[in-house]
Amino acid sequence: MVQAKALTKRFGEFEAVRGIDVEVRRGEAFGFLGPNGAGKSSTMRMIASVSPRTDGDLKVLGLDPDTDGPRIRARLGVVPQQDNLDNELTVRQNLQVYGRYFGLSRAETRRKAVELLEFAQLTDRAEAEVEPLSGGMKRRLTIARSLVNDPELLLLDEPTTGLDPQARHLLWDRLFRLKAQGVTLIVTTHYMDEAEQLCDRLVVMDGGRIVAEGSPAQLISRYSTREVLELRFPPGQEFPPEHFADLAERVEPLPDRILLYTATGEAALEQVHARGLRPLSSLVRRSTLEDVFLRLTGRTLVD
Ligand SMILES: Nc1ncnc2c1ncn2[C@@H]1O[C@H](COP(=O)(O)OP(=O)(O)O)[C@@H](O)[C@H]1O
Ligand SMILES: [Mg+2]
């Protein structure tokens, strides 16, 4: 669906995307995970064929965006990072205007709007104006609108940023349905839980480069341990990382806690107690993509 080799985007002197290789296969949910400024949106806009590449090769649906932009765009659905709905139109009109834009007949457009309102769970808001809708509803409407042309490939740039947990889960559920229908999804996100939930495969981006690639499970087993023991000590009574070196494969001090990477968190915690140490709190958890990112870059994803 997408094949990129040494794909590069420069804005003047500044290199936002620094020669990345990516392959997205039909039917998968593929993710770009990385912090703000990693180059995710710049990459998405090149794939969406709305921003020309500076260098490298790019094929989308087997076509070259430089010469086949309109043909590619006709087969894509795009959900940009910022909703760009028409606030002066109703929910239904937003869908119908888009249908007409893609060249559907009036009758087709009307039928499609009914179907997509149902999909987005917005049927009871169909005649409402867009402006007062909640963030989650606007996001679902933007996704519904991106489906007007029955796209084979759907590009979602930070689909749930700024939404509350309930709205995010509702949205994820809609995306799972699309995937089950065979739509290929490309998602950017800076939320590791979103990447873990949605993506079959992903690349971790940082500073315009890809720093790792694989399924969430592969990345975790390659770059982290099975479990993590998180310890918090009272302010002023923290210990240096070396203090725990023999209890874990890796020790990572953060401003407010210290992380001990180990296959068996409970065993490490017992050792901590056996040494007479009394942390304010302790937590044993599974490794996540956040730990992968920390390992790869030395930074946390969401500051
Ligand atoms: N139109 C532009 N002109 C100049 N710099 C840009 C432009 N768009 C993005 N950038 C810069 O490129 C870098 C990557 O941005 P972006 O692709 O939006 O990252 P992300 O989506 O991962 O947050 C950032 O440093 C950003 O400031
Ligand atoms: Mg972005």
- Name the closest-CA residue to atom 5, ligand 1: 11
Residue 139 to residue 84: CA distance in whole angstroms:
10
Residues of the chain with pLDDT under 50: none
Residue 83 to residue 145: CA distance in whole angstroms:
11
Residues with CB under 6 A from ligand 1: 11, 14, 16, 34, 36-42
Question: Counting ligands in written order, which one lies closest to the CA of residue 206?
Answer: 1
Choice from 13, 41, 161, 186 to test ligand 1 binding pocket (greatest atom count within 8 A of CB): 41
User: Which pLDDT does position 301 carry in this prediction?
Assistant: 78
Give the number of the atom of ligand 1 that is nearest the alpha carbon of residue 208.
Answer: 14
What burial class does residue 298 get, using C-beta atoms within 10 Å of its C-beta: 0-12 exposed, 13-18 middle, 19+ buried?
exposed
CATH fold label, 225-286: Alpha-Beta Plaits (3.30.70)
User: Which pLDDT does position 146 carry in this prediction?
Assistant: 95
What burial class does residue 258 get, using C-beta atoms within 10 Å of its C-beta: 0-12 exposed, 13-18 middle, 19+ buried?
buried
User: Which pLDDT does position 303 carry in this prediction?
Assistant: 56
C-alpha dihedral, 155 to 160 to 166 to 170, nearest 10°: -10
Residue 199 to residue 216: CA distance in whole angstroms:
7
Asked if 181 contacts 10 with a C-beta cutoff of 8 angstroms, the reply is no
Give the number of the atom of ligand 1 that is nearest the alpha carbon of residue 157.
Answer: 21
CA 208 – ligand 2 centroid, Å = 12
| AA letter at 257 | R
Q: Whats the size of the chain, residue-wise?
A: 303
Residue 207 to residue 210: CA distance in whole angstroms:
8
CA 55 – ligand 1 centroid, Å = 16
User: Which pLDDT does position 300 carry in this prediction?
Assistant: 82
Give the number of the atom of ligand 1 that is nearest the alpha carbon of residue 35.
Answer: 22
CATH fold label, 2-213: Rossmann fold (3.40.50)
User: Which pLDDT does position 188 carry in this prediction?
Assistant: 97
Asked if 69 contacts 58 with a C-beta cutoff of 8 angstroms, the reply is no
Q: Write out the DSSP string of the chain.
A: -EEEEEEEEEETTEEEEEEEEEEE-TT-EEEEE--TTSSHHHHHHHHTTSS--SEEEEEETTB-HHHHHHHHHTTEEEE-SS----TTSBHHHHHHHHHHHTT--HHHHHHHHHHHHHHTT-GGGTTSBSTTS-HHHHHHHHHHHHTTT--SEEEEESTTTT--HHHHHHHHHHHHHHHHTT-EEEEEES-HHHHHHH-SEEEEEETTEEEEEE-HHHHHHHHS-SEEEEEE--TT----GGGGGGGSSEEEE-SS-EEEEES-HHHHHHHHHHTT---SEEEEEE--HHHHHHHHHSS-S--
- Name the closest-CA residue to atom 8, ligand 1: 42
Confidence (pTM): 0.93
Strand order in the sheet with 55-60: 14-24, 2-11, 55-60
- Name the closest-CA residue to atom 26, ligand 1: 37
Residue 199 to residue 212: CA distance in whole angstroms:
14
Residue 254, C-beta contacts closer than 8 angstroms, at least 6 positions apart: 300
pLDDT digits 0-9 by tens, 38-93: 999 999 999 999 999 999 999 999 999 999 999 999 999 999 999 999 999 999 99
Residue 211 to residue 213: CA distance in whole angstroms:
7
In the chain, where the domains are located: 2-213, 225-286
Write b or e for each residue in 47-83: b if 16 or more Cβ atoms lie within 10 A of its Cβ, otherwise e: bbbeeebeebebbbbeeebeebbeebbeebbbbbeeb
